[in-house]
């Protein structure tokens, strides 16, 4: 049989045990109560992380919109040149080769003609005459004429320069006496007054025929169309005096 004191002690210890159990369970309830707060914090973080892409996108769009005006001037194309000057320049450029082509064809035609005449005069030179190019220049010739035996220029050798224009044979050659000669149709500069070298020129004429005409002029001067009027008057009025002076000049200037 238990004593009253032990019963009282047992009854008094029961409430103490309940209190102890409550105290022991208190932290677990506190932890359970604090867990919703942790969930709320997680929701806020997830909401913040969900909103961050929108914030970053807005920031990127703002940065792109602010950078767009600065990039625009670099992408602007340079102004195109006016079309009219380009067209005019093209037409001018296309016209120049056309002129050069025409000049080249004309030069080739004249060169062929001169080469042909050179071959002819080399094979069959005119009497008392010779002619040929100076060096490699086909358009510059030198010629010699031996004074005809039945003239006051007999025994003399006269040198002449011949220049062929690029338009030859449609324009006459230019012939100059380099040796001084006393003649009414040849002046002190060596220029010759001969109709076939001026108005009566024809493309059918050749340099051989021209040299023959000059030789004939030495034999038969033309005082009616003189370059030196004083010599022409002397020839008409005093032929013997004229011939004596012509012979003297030939000995002085044309004899080797």
Measure the CA–CA gap between 169 and 176, rounded to whole angstroms.
18
Cβ atoms within 10 A of the Cβ of 43, count?
10
Residue 193 annotated in active site: yes
Phi-psi region of 194 (alpha: psi -120 to 50; beta: other; left: phi over 0): beta
List 129, 184, 193, 215, catalytic entry: 193
- Residues known to be catalytic: 193
């Amino acid at each position: 049989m238990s004593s009253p004191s032990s019963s009282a002690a047992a009854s008094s210890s029961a409430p103490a045990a309940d209190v102890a159990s409550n105290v022991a369970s208190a932290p677990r309830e506190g932890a359970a109560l604090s867990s919703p707060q942790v969930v709320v914090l997680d929701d806020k973080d997830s909401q913040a992380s969900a909103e961050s892409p929108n914030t970053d996108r807005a920031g990127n769009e703002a940065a792109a919109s602010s950078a767009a005006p600065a990039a625009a001037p670099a992408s602007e194309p340079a102004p195109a040149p006016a079309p009219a000057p380009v067209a005019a320049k093209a037409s001018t450029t296309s016209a120049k080769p056309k002129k050069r082509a025409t000049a080249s064809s004309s030069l080739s035609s004249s060169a062929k003609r001169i080469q042909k005449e050179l071959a002819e005069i080399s094979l069959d030179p005119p009497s008392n005459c010779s002619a040929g190019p100076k060096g490699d220049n086909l358009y510059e010739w030198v010629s010699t004429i031996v004074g005809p035996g039945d003239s006051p220029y007999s025994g003399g050798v006269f040198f002449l320069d011949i220049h062929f224009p690029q338009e030859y044979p449609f324009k006459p050659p230019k012939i100059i006496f380099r040796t001084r000669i006393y003649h009414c149709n040849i002046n002190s500069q060596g220029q010759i007054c001969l109709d076939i070298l001026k108005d009566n020129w024809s493309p059918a004429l050749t340099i051989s025929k021209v040299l023959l005409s000059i030789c004939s002029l030495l034999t038969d001067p033309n005082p009616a169309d003189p370059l030196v009027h004083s010599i022409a008057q002397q020839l008409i009025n005093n032929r013997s005096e004229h011939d004596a002076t012509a012979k003297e000049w030939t000995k002085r200037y044309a004899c080797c």
